[in-house]
Amino acid sequence: MIHKSASGDPSTMLVRFELPAAIWADSVHLVGDFNGWNERSLPMMRDRSDGTWYIVLELEREREYQFRYLVNHSEWHNDWNADRYVTNPYGGTNSVVSTITPDSAGSTVEQSA
């Protein structure tokens, strides 16, 4: 699941990436365009209250980022609530998160609780 919210910088957006606790894992990493597809640089944390895996990134607005979750250093997962999906060169699909706002004067960004 993806939650988007305003950041202190109008040129960026806070994006919280989440995987449900039902995903059995010892480790989960967020991998994508925003970190050069580095499989180790963005480890996700486990929420103590509900076991959800999460990470929050500050991403530049008016862009789209392809990404996937790497579970236990070997299993690739998509976010089934992504903004859209694109075919990747390995015969699968990548999730896409968009920080493009239809109206820069008015906020269409989902506020997370």
Amino acid in the structure at residue 91: G
Cβ distance 65 to 15 under 8 Å? no
Computed from CA positions of residues 21, 87, 32, 5, in that sequence, does the dihedral angle turn out positive or negative?
negative
The per-residue pLDDT string of the chain (113 residues; one tens digit each, 9 = 90 and over) reads: 999 999 999 999 999 999 998 888 999 999 999 999 999 999 999 999 999 999 999 999 999 999 999 999 999 999 999 999 999 999 999 999 999 987 654 444 444 43
Q: What CATH number should be reported for the domain whose range is 2-98?
A: 2.60.40.10
N residues, the chain:
113
Beta bridge partners of 32: 67
Closest CA to 44 of 15, 80, 69, 14: 69
pLDDT of residue 103: 65
